[in-house]
Amino acid sequence: MRYGMVIVALMVGMTAAMVSLLSAQSSSSKEVPLSKATQGCISCHQDLHPGIVSAWGRSRHARITPEEAMKVQGLGLKVSSKKIPDRFLKVAVGCVECHTQRPEAHTGTFEHAGYDVHTAVSPNDCSTCHAEEADQFSRNLMAHARGNLVDNPLYMDLARTIEGEVARKGYLLDFTPADPLTQAESCLHCHGTKLEVKGSQERDTLFGWMVFPVIAGWPNQGVGRENTDGSLGSCGACHNRHQFSIEMARQPYTCKKCHIGPDVPAYKVYSASRHGNMFSTHGKQWNFKSVPWTVGEDFTAPTCASCHVSLLADSSGDKIVPRTHQITDRLPWRAFGLIYAHPQPISPDTSIIRNADDLPLPTNLDGTFADEYLIDAETMAERTENMQTVCRSCHGSAWVNGFWERFERTIQTTNQATLEATRVMIDIWDNGYAVNHLAGGSLFDEAIERRWSDVWLFYANHIRLASAMAGGGDYGVFADGRYHITKAIMELNEWLRHKAAQSARECEE
Amino acid sequence: MRYGMVIVALMVGMTAAMVSLLSAQSSSSKEVPLSKATQGCISCHQDLHPGIVSAWGRSRHARITPEEAMKVQGLGLKVSSKKIPDRFLKVAVGCVECHTQRPEAHTGTFEHAGYDVHTAVSPNDCSTCHAEEADQFSRNLMAHARGNLVDNPLYMDLARTIEGEVARKGYLLDFTPADPLTQAESCLHCHGTKLEVKGSQERDTLFGWMVFPVIAGWPNQGVGRENTDGSLGSCGACHNRHQFSIEMARQPYTCKKCHIGPDVPAYKVYSASRHGNMFSTHGKQWNFKSVPWTVGEDFTAPTCASCHVSLLADSSGDKIVPRTHQITDRLPWRAFGLIYAHPQPISPDTSIIRNADDLPLPTNLDGTFADEYLIDAETMAERTENMQTVCRSCHGSAWVNGFWERFERTIQTTNQATLEATRVMIDIWDNGYAVNHLAGGSLFDEAIERRWSDVWLFYANHIRLASAMAGGGDYGVFADGRYHITKAIMELNEWLRHKAAQSARECEE
Amino acid sequence: MRYGMVIVALMVGMTAAMVSLLSAQSSSSKEVPLSKATQGCISCHQDLHPGIVSAWGRSRHARITPEEAMKVQGLGLKVSSKKIPDRFLKVAVGCVECHTQRPEAHTGTFEHAGYDVHTAVSPNDCSTCHAEEADQFSRNLMAHARGNLVDNPLYMDLARTIEGEVARKGYLLDFTPADPLTQAESCLHCHGTKLEVKGSQERDTLFGWMVFPVIAGWPNQGVGRENTDGSLGSCGACHNRHQFSIEMARQPYTCKKCHIGPDVPAYKVYSASRHGNMFSTHGKQWNFKSVPWTVGEDFTAPTCASCHVSLLADSSGDKIVPRTHQITDRLPWRAFGLIYAHPQPISPDTSIIRNADDLPLPTNLDGTFADEYLIDAETMAERTENMQTVCRSCHGSAWVNGFWERFERTIQTTNQATLEATRVMIDIWDNGYAVNHLAGGSLFDEAIERRWSDVWLFYANHIRLASAMAGGGDYGVFADGRYHITKAIMELNEWLRHKAAQSARECEE
């Protein structure tokens, strides 16, 4: 009965589908055939969720077949897979082409209108056409963003004191780890949830009752999502479904979604930088679609993607730097304070790291590095050269060298300031004025400990990102920067002085 | 004498006026006649304030007569009044059409160049053509934004400690309520001033000496302004004078004017959300003028207006949701912390609310609701369905349900965190470490009380708005979110522990 | 040998250079000749740094000769110099035209490919064509931004405690003045470094080994940079190299680079104001190139430049206000808190100022002004009139007067709040709870002193800028505004009370 309804809908809906798709495709010279199955999807979903279908209609996936896309010669080739199964070659990359791939691999696969469908498309699905990018991304720290958090007991202890439920226990605070719904909306919103099938549900739809899987952790577009096929990551984190537009991935707003808060204020720093100023003023005239992306012709100032990801070329069409989806390829330093800036980790899985105190941290509390887990000087030099090659597209060597010298100095000075703050904190712990892990407590659940984490989690990161992206300025000084890091150290020191004086008075009494 | 000058100016000015208007109207196929009186206004004011006249020249008001506008059939009709006085029908909606309406109703009416003019146009003036929108808006919380503040003694006590003049009184602080000029620039800037005629003034103008009324509270475009005709609100708060462009009202920048600070960080959360990312990248290609507003065709991600106000249609031209200027129509919860999130109030006049302790608050200090003043479960369900209908334009039911379940959980957890903070604060008051209203003090004028208000006024709101608009992420965690709400509770608790320990020591002595 | 390479490169590169320049110049009707020397520069640097050459190719400098530019009649004239040396007249303003000017004046001049080149072009170089603007700018506070900081021992003491290296010394903190690399990335990033030749360096380039000067302080685009010819300032601070686009200088993003942090939140306030809302929504349709800049035609709401810098005209082509590069021309008040808002200084060199206590501050600690260094009431009135003339382009007199009355009141109330905070701080110093300059300490290196500086450096400035640019609203109240200034005073007062009580207890014992 309900299938009868679907078939009627299919017939009625088809014309509308083709009309609207044609209009969406107006910029394309010839029509791209849809698989019959995709036509079926569209006929219903266009009315149910017009926004999804329309967004896809604007995508390159709707406008070119893989066979045509593979014919592109040279640096403009976007489909990196050498061989693509025949059934995909001559049709647009539509609904079923992605959502019914490898049904046996996905625990979330369910029967829907005669097809074995899964909701969340994974990097392994995308790799059918984009093998190289999926492979690079698997080595990206971001693909491991979920495990690097949830498999690190120290970070999860910090998370517990941030997103957990708080209750007083006498005069102390007691934090219960957050429930899954809260986690999904807090840290895991960006780091990625684990998609797990938790049974099924029958729902009354416009086309009658239908059965759907219940997937815990859904919805989520976190960059390190664990998918129903066990793969890691979500390409949609940056290549927003269902338009998957390269213009979007190349604009800084995409990165802003996760890199805006005081812990990683990348977007804020960029938008106040000279590069950001040029993007804001002239960006609307730039070409964000062109592959390769030609410096000076397509754009005159970098966005996040230009420096960290994109394949760049000069106006002769020669490659300046290759595309990479392993962001660390151009990054010698991990500027992010854990607790100190440090050389990038060797493995994208950072949960394996242990420092000298056997804590899962890439640095020791005294600021020295957990060397065996971090890249060596030679690798750092290579990556520095990769990044500076991008810089030199628009800047002379004296400029680049001067800039870089300051950046390295800032790594040192912010680590030094963090060390001073940590020394005060260690004195506080050692004197029993706060309770650390060695005394059976947490490093993060008392007010003075939170003031300490401000130092490395917020202020040092602001200073370093302002250095790295803007060459300094307001975000490095007054906007959660140097003004605030020294203020926090003053407060930590005053707190310790006060406790020590009080303690001395009590002893006298 | 001075009138002679006006007449000369009228004659000289006319040609320039027509030329410039013609150019501004270039997109219109036929010329729209101006009333003779409006021509007179323009002839002088075009030279005095070219920006105003030019902005109006770009408006729809300048490009179509009400008679033509009323002929629009179906969802595209913008003029909701069924009958409009004849004198307005066949001319553009120009200066005098608005500024001389209902002169007897406005205390601010004054004689000017032969006309009875009033400066501040009110919703009741606009209702001549836009009756339905004015009626909806009168039931909008925002229309009552002024009274909901100034008629609530508790809120005004908070305002006194924020914007009032501070002086030390011994070791205590004494706050004097702010003077009217300061109020107009602080809370009332957004909430709306009261426009009151305070006499008149003669000024030397380019056209000789003229008499103008002196209106206290002017200028102001606050959404809850009390007008010289006694009506509430300013349509210009969102529909910016004198272009009154629907594109502006539909873009998030309009809402940003009042919804950007840490108390209501709606714009910040939106701009860092996936929806905001799509708007930032693709918005410049969207159609912000089309009525109805077609999902997927005119735009591919929502702005504030899409979800909260606009009439949306699908690509078949069918209505998805009707237009509403009563924003709460699609809102079950009032996420704004007063002190806890709570169901929307029944009446837009919230100054009538009293909680169990007879305080003018929609919740009790223990987090329970002042139920009789708030909408019931059934109404909440209706409004939830209204909003989810918008969501489903682009998202499947599993997505929408998963999203909403998290949002409801966040309402609970943020209310729970606020309750813990409030329990600490109550202990502080009960022990006499701070002075509350029961002890003859204010809830808001001591440092520790201000730390408590941070919890519900800033942090809880960040977490809820991040949940509601972005599904979580940085603004819910690190940007004045969960990291900060737990930190504040830690500090409140430490403060209490310190005071209690000190008190115990003093007793011993 | 290496010169042979250059010559070959010159010949090979030339065609590419001309082609790409032609395409960049497509909007120009006729070809503009390049000097032979500039052709030489481009032939190599186009491949080395395609971004620079391309940006220049988009500039007006590449598209018109000075001779043609000087022919413009009336307000549209951009070249203010009455006489320009013949050798510049008939060629585009290319590489050598700027970088080889006045070689003897620049200590950084070096021989490069046969030319005497200097890296950093100075306002004195630009004044060859833009004499009037360079002259105005030399009287601008900004040109003196470096000296006004580094020659003021009190400000440098504040800088030391912000950007200096911190170490504990017993229970006290010891701040070492920052090293030059850190300074260049902190305060001097915006204020400007001093460019000093520190020797030379041979580098292996694509064209063989070459010798370059080593210039300390490079790179830097700070507005008060001290150049290798001794002149002050960098035109490129606002007129971004190498496109030097007037569109950029007129958009608020340019100012944002230095005016975004909590000390000078000008961009944040603007972007949340009604003017900013109009810019964000409609700005993409405005004409940012037109000179003069016509109110209502070219734009319908002001940007930073409209109010503070630009030559504005009405639609009859009549001048409303002249262009000025001395920003204070339209500013009676210096809203920036040092420690109080005060009338603008008479001299742009503020390092000469001494207050009644012989401190290099424009105000005394009690809020009164160091009058002899500040402009008088008459000059303030003139500048007020200059600014209000801009306002009246779009606003009636009642509006402007009402707005201004509130602004003046806000100057008073924020100065009054700062005075209360300062009185508490003075009590703290006088009682020896903190160590000030009179007691051999610093005003800025203790936690409670930093809380005091929050008051005038951050919060008072937010309130005043919100008043000046937005007429109030969220940034004046909740976003580091009145809520925060009163909170800080509460905390200062509580801290003093606590110390006094403790002190009293200790005396009793």
Q: Among residues B283, B287, B290, B328, which one has the least CA distance to residue B311?
A: B290
In angstroms, rounded to a whole number, what is the distance separating the alpha carbons of residues A218 and A195?
A: 6
Structure-block tokens of residue A231: 């793969």
Least confident residue range of A224-228, B44-48, B377-381: B44-48
Chain B residue with Cα closest to A180 = B406
C248–A282 CB contact, under 8 Å: yes
Entry pTM: 0.94
Please give the pLDDT value at position A31: 84
Measured between alpha carbons, how far is residue A200 from residues A185, A196, A351 in Å?
A: 23, 12, 33
List the beta bridge partners of residue C232.
C226
Which amino acid is it at A26? S
Strand, coil or helix: B481 = coil
Please give the pLDDT value at position B454: 98
* Closest Cβ opposite residue C167 in set A278, A420, A483: A420
Q: Among residues A20, A45, A21, which one has the least CA distance to residue A31?
A: A21
- Those chains having 3 or more beta-carbon pairs within 8 angstroms of chain A are B, C
- Taking CB atoms and an 8 Å cutoff, what residues of chain B touch C396? 48-49, 119
In angstroms, rounded to a whole number, what is the distance separating the alpha carbons of residues A12 and A7?
A: 9
Q: Give the mean pLDDT of B130-135.
A: 98
Q: Among residues A31, A414, A468, which one has the least CA distance to residue A259?
A: A468
Contact A160, A175 (CB under 8 A): yes
In angstroms, rounded to a whole number, what is the distance separating the alpha carbons of residues C52 and C45?
A: 8
Measured CA angle at A22 (ends A20, A23), to 5 deg: 65
In angstroms, rounded to a whole number, what is the distance separating the alpha carbons of residues B66 and B153?
A: 44
Q: Among residues B100, A254, A451, which one has the least CA distance to residue C447?
A: A451
C402–B219 CB contact, under 8 Å: yes
**Residue B251 backbone dihedrals phi, psi, to 5 degrees:** -95, 150
Contact A235, A123 (CB under 8 A): yes
| DSSP annotation of C295 | B
- Those chains having 3 or more beta-carbon pairs within 8 angstroms of chain B are A, C
Contact C243, A274 (CB under 8 A): no
Chain A residue with Cα closest to C192 = A473
Residues ≥6 apart with Cβ < 8 Å to B66:
B79, B84, B88, B89, B93, B129
Measured CA angle at C99 (ends C96, C101), to 5 deg: 90
List the beta bridge partners of residue A116.
A111
pLDDT(B193) > 90:
yes
pLDDT, averaged across chain A = 93
- What's the full length of chain C, in residues? 509
- Taking CB atoms and an 8 Å cutoff, what residues of chain C touch B251? 280-281
| DSSP annotation of C314 | -
In angstroms, rounded to a whole number, what is the distance separating the alpha carbons of residues B312 and B332?
A: 20
List the beta bridge partners of residue A343.
A333
The three-state (H, E, C) secondary structure of B222-284, written as one string = CCCCECCCCCECCHHHCCCCCCCCHHHHHCHHHHHCCCCCCCCCHHHHHHCCHHHHHHHHHHH
- Taking CB atoms and an 8 Å cutoff, what residues of chain C touch B190? 473-474
Contact B481, B457 (CB under 8 A): no
Please give the pLDDT value at position A30: 67
Chains A, B: CB contacts under 8 A, how many? Answer: 184
- Those chains having 3 or more beta-carbon pairs within 8 angstroms of chain C are A, B
Please give the pLDDT value at position C15: 35
Question: CB contact, 8 Å: B399 with chain A?
Answer: yes
**Residue B474 backbone dihedrals phi, psi, to 5 degrees:** -55, -45
Please give the pLDDT value at position A509: 67
The packing angle between helices A50-57 and A2-24, to 10°, is 40
Calculate the CA dihedral of residues B207, B211, B215, B219 and round it to 10 degrees: 0
The three-state (H, E, C) secondary structure of A54-75, written as one string = HHHHCCHHHCCCHHHHHCCCHH
Chain C residue with Cα closest to A465 = C185
The packing angle between helices C447-454 and C397-430, to 10°, is 170
In angstroms, rounded to a whole number, what is the distance separating the alpha carbons of residues B442 and B248?
A: 41
Chain A residue with Cα closest to C457 = A478
- Taking CB atoms and an 8 Å cutoff, what residues of chain C touch B219? 395, 398-399, 402-403, 471
Which residues in chain C come in under a pLDDT of 70? 1-30, 509
Q: Give the mean pLDDT of A463-489.
A: 94
Q: Among residues B310, B254, B244, B247, which one has the least CA distance to residue B93?
A: B244
C262–A479 CB contact, under 8 Å: yes
A181–B405 CB contact, under 8 Å: yes
Question: CB contact, 8 Å: A256 with chain B?
Answer: yes
* Interface-testing mutation among C149, C189, C271, with chain A (most A C-beta atoms within 10 A): C189
Cβ atoms within 10 Å of C71's Cβ, excluding its own: 11
Least confident residue range of A2-11, A228-237, A245-254: A2-11
Please give the pLDDT value at position C23: 40
List, as ranges, residues 419-478 from B with C-beta within 8 Å of C: 445-448, 450, 457-458
* Closest Cβ opposite residue B467 in set A46, A185, A214: A185
Question: CB contact, 8 Å: A245 with chain C?
Answer: no
Host H or E run for residue A344: none
Q: Among residues A244, C74, A366, C386, which one has the least CA distance to residue B300?
A: A244
B482–A186 CB contact, under 8 Å: yes
List the beta bridge partners of residue C211.
C202
Question: CB contact, 8 Å: B260 with chain C?
Answer: yes
How does residue B509 score in pLDDT terms, banded at 50, 70 and 90? Answer: low
Higher per-residue pLDDT: B411 or A24:
B411
Question: CB contact, 8 Å: C406 with chain B?
Answer: yes
How does residue A482 score in pLDDT terms, banded at 50, 70 and 90? Answer: very high
- Taking CB atoms and an 8 Å cutoff, what residues of chain C touch A296? 50-55
Q: Which residue is it, tokens 């007054």?
A: A478
In angstroms, rounded to a whole number, what is the distance separating the alpha carbons of residues A235 and A244?
A: 9
Cα within 13 Å of Cα(A404), Cβ side: 21
DSSP B105-143: G-TT-EEETTEEE-SS--HHHHTTT-HHHHHHHHTSGGG
Q: Among residues C440, C425, C442, which one has the least CA distance to residue C493?
A: C425
pLDDT(B23) > 60:
no
Structure-block tokens of residue C79: 């070249």
| DSSP annotation of A283 | G
A185–B276 CB contact, under 8 Å: no
